[in-house]
Amino acid sequence: MRKLSFLSILFPLIVISNAYPEINEAQQKIIKSQIILIHEGMVSEKEVFRKAKLFDKEGILGIGKSEMSQEEFKSFLNKESLHFGY
């Protein structure tokens, strides 16, 4: 019973921390720093996506490779935009 309660607490934490598994920290910083500019019309979402896409991880022989998709970008942008009040 005790292990079950520990797992029930641990599982949601793991799921929350991996909500955007293909967006690495460098990409998150780029997107967050450009949110205000996107909503003010100074930079397009397409430009920010291209900038963040430069930081995709290549991995070694395909192991550890991660690529951010357009859907993941849009989802992360929408979530973070709420924090900025947009």
Calculate mean pLDDT across residues 52-68: 83
What does pTM read for this prediction?
Answer: 0.69
In a domain, 69, yes or no: yes
* Angstrom distance (rounded) from CA 3 to CA 33: 41
In a domain, 5, yes or no: no
Could you report the per-residue pLDDT of 9-26, keeping only the tens digit for each? 655 544 444 455 689 999
In a domain, 3, yes or no: no
* Angstrom distance (rounded) from CA 2 to CA 40: 51
* pLDDT band at 52; cut points 50, 70, 90: very high
Calculate mean pLDDT across residues 66-74: 92
Domain that includes residue 79, residue range? 22-83
Domain count across the chain: 1
Q: Name the β-bridge partners of 60.
A: 63
In a domain, 65, yes or no: yes
